[in-house]
Amino acid sequence: MSTSTQTGTSDAGHTPDEDPALARRRAVTNKRYRLLIAVALGLVALSAVRVFSGAGDLTSGGTIGAALSLAVPIGMAGLGGLWAERAGVVNIGLEGMMILGTFGAGWIGWQHGPWLGVLAAIVFGTLGGLVHSIATVSFGVDHIVSGVAINILGLGVTQFLASVLLEGTPGGGESQSPRIPPLPTVSIPGLNDLLLPLEKHGWFLISDLAGIVRGLTTNVSVLTLVAVGLVIATYYVLWQTPFGLRLRSCGEDPYAAESLGVRVYLHKHIAVLVSGALAGFAGAYLAIVAAGIYREGQTGGRGYIGLAAMIFGNWRPGGLVAGAGLFGYTDAMQLRNAEAVHALLLVVALILAGVAIASVIRRRFVSAVISTVIGILMVVWYARTDALPDQITFMTPYITTLLVLALASQRLRMPKADGLVYRRGGSR
Amino acid sequence: MTTTEVTPAAKNTVQADRIRRVALTLAAPLLAIVISLVITSLVLVSTGTPAFHTFKIMLDYAAQPRTTTLIINSAVTYYFAALAVAVGFRMNLFNIGVDGQYRLAAMLAASVGGAVTLPAPLHVSLIIGVAALVGAMWAGIAGLLKVYRGVSEVISTIMLNFIATGLVAYLLAPGRLAVTTTGSNNIGTKEIPPSGRVPGIDLIPGSPLQVYGLLVLAIAAGFAYWFLIERTRFGFELRATGLNEAAAVASGVNVKRMVLVSMLISGGVAGLVGMPQLLGSSYNYSLDFPAGLGFTGIAIALLGRNTAIGVAIGALLFGFLDNSSQILDLEGVAKEIVLITQGVIVLSVVVAYEIVRRYRIIAQQRDVGRSLAQPQQPVVAEGVTP
């Protein structure tokens, strides 16, 4: 980071007018390259471990496909969190709104088909968002307090409605709905037949790539495509339109925004409503695509994980997708294959080795030593055991989040006025 | 040399303000309960159930000695959870992690208690001590992360909840800390021998059940909480930090230390949440140990305005709702209706407090304006003359 800024300032002598934009562009390209290199190195590490340990499920199409469908609800909840927090409202009520969404999808979905189910889930989630926005924006209640209340309320309303509306339905009961008709899935024609043999060969890197591409292109639910579209749309709306700029300005400094004539209350309300709608959509995905029914306790804290993925991704859509992907991947590993999970220890060790080398180059010896020691411990752990207990895998995403927060909290930058109560005409 | 005499007018104002403050403090929770009753009634009526009749059934059921005992027992458990949350709330610290803290604490304390045999008072204190210590340590992680790495305690405690779930599931397996209970497929920690149990109290006449003996500990904890917050320097600094952190720092409060210490206290109290049930009725930690009490605690702390008395009333109210609703299923009413009541209470109580707070500020400003508008010249002169 620091080197790229320095190049920028040395250019300043020649073209003072163009300089800031140029330096910024250079920093962005630099960052993109770095990201690509990191992804490529991660892939190589994964592939090497797969060849070494023989745990084919590490990058099989099946695992990747499962990871994708597990990542979508987390990512959508996180996207909901992103909208709210970019406008300065912390939305810890995502979990409750998601629960409302699962019920809406189940209740309407089994009677009127999956698409109306999705719509109902979005409406239910938005209603949850409405409560949150009235409490936090109109009444100035503390955001965390209101969010916790909505989680309690969302659960209560759902359980009550389920016991009233789903009791006695064919195949359903007070804690689950009848089956929802499935949504269509799409595949890129021909690709599966082409890639499957490649994947089966077990070649270094080539088979892994084949597996990943196959997982991402075969039997993908249409809702997954909608979700991808929503991420892109969010990026576009929030970062490329005047409306998005205004919305984000409410999250950075509402009083400055107010002085420029931005209608802060309006933007915050919209942001929280969209947030609820996205959480509801996440619930619909869980109920319709992942399970095929509404089931009590289906969300399993994914609203919170979505929030964690958003923080992990530094309040940016791209980072959020990476975070959701990571959580989805560990989830999928845990569900699919104990042997592959065990091999993940080696992957972590390799990544730590990379971190250690990078630290030595940057003359950060303490962090190099710490990474090396932990890496060696991982290798020892791998060598001494045959399998990793399920519960340890279950904890992985949460420990990762804690570590990321603990180690990189200085690099994370949340919207400046995030979580602060704003009153029109007030002051900081 | 100015001898400041309080003028009768000013005295009246102060008195009026005090009366108003008490009235308003009571108004908010009452308003919230009324709102939630109205909404609950609306929901009931809309599903074709007579609301008034439903409430009457619940009250009648609650008046039975057995149910009353159960209500008090639930309230004891809830009280610890709510106090744990309240300690943090008083300095704007959100301990969302009470849930994980008490489950981990109860599980480890149960295993320690099941592993040893000691004279009764020692055995009980050991179990309770371990529980408080584990809870404090688990919360302490979040405290350390906040103080040294700037990690929001909201996120870290949520993550720690999940990690605690994983840890408990990992440790609660045969061959680790658990044994299979004979005659069922439920697994739990080894049963605590009689020396580690706390006998119940026959508080409610005519009840086949006993009130948890740890009711005494709950009352003691309530007193300790009140004393700590209202009567010690630590409590003063805690409240000062919560009200205005910048001002607290300026007057020499070490906020980092405060964050860490209050997180440890909060976690320590959270560790006690599982104790009434563990030492009073179940004697071991098994898969069916209640979960989610931490979130109930948050709700009750909000309802009770983080005061020892208010939280006690809130705990009893939630205990009443949870236990007396059990009768509703027999009457053909979905007992989940009380979950709506609880959610609405919490949401409306925070909104009501906010409205009351704003009203109070406006009222105070109006009073000040009025007293300044009165011709006070002679009064001031009197006061100033030496």
Sketch the domain layout of chain B as residue ranges: 1-49+336-386, 69-332
CA-CA-CA-CA dihedral for A275, A110, A150, B263, to nearest 10: -90
Residue A386: domain span: 337-411
| pLDDT score for B383 | 45
Q: Does A275 touch chain B (CB under 8 A)?
A: no
Complex ipTM value: 0.84
| pLDDT score for B5 | 57
CA distance A334 to chain B (A): 13
Q: Decide: B96 and B154 in contact? Cβ < 8 Å.
A: yes
End-to-end CA distance of chain A: 32
Same domain, A213 and A344: no
> pLDDT tens-digit profile of B298-356?
989 988 889 999 999 999 999 999 999 999 888 888 888 888 888 888 888 888 888 88
Tell me the pairing of strands A220-221 and B178-180: unpaired
> pLDDT tens-digit profile of B198-212?
988 888 888 888 999
Q: Do A149 and B347 touch (CB under 8 A)?
A: yes
Q: What is the pTM of this model?
A: 0.86
Q: Do B350 and A92 touch (CB under 8 A)?
A: no
Does residue A403 form part of some domain? yes
Q: Does B336 touch chain A (CB under 8 A)?
A: yes
Does residue A146 form part of some domain? yes
> pLDDT tens-digit profile of B248-299?
999 899 999 999 999 999 999 999 999 999 999 989 998 888 888 998 999 8
Does residue A164 form part of some domain? yes
What is the three-class DSSP state of A90?
coil
Q: What is the CA radius of gyration of chain B?
A: 24
Contacts for A44-47 with beta carbons within 8 Å, 24 or more apart?
A: A44/A205, A45/A347, A45/A350, A45/A351, A45/A354, A46/A208, A46/A347, A47/A204, A47/A205, A47/A208
| pLDDT score for B89 | 92
Q: Does A144 touch chain B (CB under 8 A)?
A: yes
Residue-by-residue DSSP string for A47-72: HHHHHHH--GGGS-HHHHHHHHHHHH
Which burial class, exposed, middle or buried, applies to B48 when counting CB atoms under 10 A from its CB (0-12, 13-18, 19+)? exposed
> pLDDT tens-digit profile of B113-149?
999 888 988 999 999 999 999 999 999 999 999 998 8
Is the pLDDT reported for residue B57 higher than 60? yes
- Residues of chain B with pLDDT > 90, as a percent, come to 47
CA distance B256 to chain A (A): 16
Same domain, A291 and A346: no
| pLDDT score for B348 | 87
| pLDDT score for A40 | 80
- Locate the chain B residue with the closest alpha carbon to A132: B347
| pLDDT score for A157 | 92
Q: Do B351 and A145 touch (CB under 8 A)?
A: no
In sequence order, the 6+-apart residues with CB closer than 8 A to the CB of B329 are: B335
The DSSP element (H or E) to which A220 belongs, if any, is strand A220-221
Does residue A428 form part of some domain? no
Q: Which CATH number is A201's domain given?
A: 1.10.3470
Residue A150: closest CA among A128, A125, A123: A128
| pLDDT score for B297 | 94
Phi, psi of B174 (to 5 degrees): -55, 135
* CA pseudo-torsion sign B108, B109, B111, B116: positive
Q: Which of residues 88-107 of A touch B (CB under 8 A)?
A: 90, 92
The DSSP element (H or E) to which B180 belongs, if any, is strand B178-180
Q: Decide: A90 and A146 in contact? Cβ < 8 Å.
A: no
Residue B31: closest CA among B293, B243, B305, B242: B305
| pLDDT score for B385 | 44
Per-chain mean pLDDT for chain B: 88
Strand partners, B357: none
- In a mutational test of the B interface, the residue from A138, A148, A409 whose CB has the highest number of chain B CBs within 10 Å is A148
Q: Do A402 and B167 touch (CB under 8 A)?
A: no
Residue in B155, B295, B341 nearest the CB of A405: B155
Is the pLDDT reported for residue B386 higher than 50? no
Separation between Cα atoms, residue A239 and residue A233, nearest integer Å = 10
Q: How many CB pairs under 8 A join A and B?
A: 130
Quick one: average pLDDT of B144-162?
A: 89
Q: Does A350 touch chain B (CB under 8 A)?
A: no
Separation between Cα atoms, residue B232 and residue A64, nearest integer Å = 58
| pLDDT score for B1 | 45
Same domain, A289 and A389: no
| pLDDT score for A18 | 54
Identify the CATH number of the domain defined by range B69-332: 1.10.3470
Phi, psi of B159 (to 5 degrees): -60, -40
Structural domain tally of chain A?
2
Q: Do A153 and B43 touch (CB under 8 A)?
A: no
Q: Decide: A288 and A109 in contact? Cβ < 8 Å.
A: yes
Same domain, A343 and A306: no
Does residue A140 form part of some domain? yes
Ranges of chain A with pLDDT below 70: 1-20, 28, 31, 56, 336-338, 409-410, 428
Does residue A330 form part of some domain? no
- In a mutational test of the A interface, the residue from B95, B165, B336, B345 whose CB has the highest number of chain A CBs within 10 Å is B336
Is the pLDDT reported for residue B9 higher than 90? no
